[in-house]
């Protein structure tokens, strides 16, 4: 399986660009300063605390869908739609989610992943029993495009948080501890899915 052609140039160039961005960032801009790894340090939240998950999470690129998924790669009918996950973990004013009919897929914009980014979670619901597969898309050091399955969410007819899914690719970040990764969501079977609020856990000790 391969990265969508639209992302290949971005994925191959993002890691190199990250170092330049970090060097040019103003010291006062904490959200762009290098963190413990090679990726920029960004503010975190605890969106899954109501489910006894008190880990710190950061939002994936446009992971709340509130800009209409403009940075996502939407294929075969995937589309931003009205109707937020009911828990409003990102903001009470949020009102959009991503609709994934059978046969479609949706891929986030590439994001920086380091060894500290160990897990991810999101919210989802489906119209009937079925499954939604989550994959990480990345480029090897030699430029070969790869994908790896992170896990599967089973549909149940009501909005719910996914299980904690291991990122799996974070150990491949290399010496610079910064690799470019996109997340792809693909329904399996005939169910239509909605997903919302995609978060990554940059594991930290306090």
**201 pLDDT tier (thresholds 50, 70, 90):** very high
Q: In the chain, what are the domains?
A: 5-22+34-202 (2.60.120.260)
pTM given for the model: 0.82
> To the nearest whole number, what is the mean pLDDT of the chain?
84
Interval 139-189: pLDDT, tens: 988 889 999 999 999 988 899 999 999 999 999 998 899 999 999 999 999
Residue 156 pLDDT: 81
The strand pair at 96-100 and 165-166 is best described as unpaired
Residue 142 pLDDT: 84
Q: What are phi and psi of 139, to 5 degrees?
A: -115, 135
Residue 205 pLDDT: 53
User: How many helices (H) and strands (E) would you count in the chain?
Assistant: 1, 13
What do you get for the CA distance between the two ends of the chain, in Å?
Answer: 38
> In whole angstroms, what is the distance from residue 32 CA to residue 43 CA?
10
Percent of the chain predicted with pLDDT > 70: 81
Q: What one-character-per-residue DSSP string does 62-85 give?
A: TTT-TTTTTTSEEETT-EEEE---
Q: Do 100 and 78 meet the contact criterion of CB atoms below 8 Å apart?
A: yes
Interval 15-64: pLDDT, tens: 333 333 332 222 332 233 334 558 998 899 999 999 999 999 999 999 99
């Amino acid at each position: 399986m391969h990265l969508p052609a639209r992302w290949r140039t971005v994925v191959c160039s993002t890691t190199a660009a990250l170092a330049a961005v970090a060097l040019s960032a103003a010291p006062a801009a904490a959200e762009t300063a290098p963190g413990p790894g090679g990726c920029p340090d960004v503010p975190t939240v605890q969106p899954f605390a109501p489910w006894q998950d008190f880990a710190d999470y950061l939002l994936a690129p446009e992971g709340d869908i509130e800009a209409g998924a403009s940075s996502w790669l939407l294929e075969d009918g995937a589309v931003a739609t009205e109707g937020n996950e009911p828990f409003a973990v990102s903001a009470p004013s949020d009102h959009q989610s991503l609709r994934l009919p059978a046969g479609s897929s949706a891929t986030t914009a590439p994001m920086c992943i380091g060894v500290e980014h160990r897990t991810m979670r999101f919210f989802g619901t489906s119209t009937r029993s079925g499954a939604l597969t989550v994959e990480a898309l990345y480029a090897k050091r030699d430029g070969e495009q790869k994908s790896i399955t992170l896990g599967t969410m089973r549909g149940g007819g009501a909005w719910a948080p996914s299980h904690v899914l291991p990122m799996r690719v974070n150990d491949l970040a290399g010496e610079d501890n910064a690799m470019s990764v996109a997340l792809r969501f693909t329904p399996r079977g005939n169910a239509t899915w909605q997903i919302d609020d995609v978060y990554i856990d940059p594991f930290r000790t306090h």
